[in-house]
Amino acid sequence: MGIKPKCDKCGNELSNFGALLFSPPDEKNITKKYHICEKCYENMKKALKCQKKI
């Protein structure tokens, strides 16, 4: 059985990968990694008002 990641924002299973979001490191220098679907990524981009194409 393969890995079926889910979007950490909306909870939907990822059919295509949208983005990875990493938290800032904590006091122990540990970061958290979040999987984000394409739709949530686009919503986050709009919320951040990113104008550049990445």
Is 6 within 8 Å of 36 (Cβ atoms)?
no
Q: Which residue has the tokens 């990822």?
A: 14
Beta partners for residue 19, in sequence order: 36
pLDDT score of 50? 64
Question: What is the CB neighbour count within 10 angstroms for residue 40?
Answer: 20
pLDDT score of 51? 61
As a three-state string, the secondary structure of the chain is CCCCCECCCCCCECCCCCEEEECCCCCCCCCCEEEECHHHHHHHHHHHCCCCCC
pLDDT score of 53? 60
Q: What is the mean pLDDT of each run of 10 residues along the chain (54 residues)?
A: 85 88 96 95 85 60
pLDDT score of 35? 95
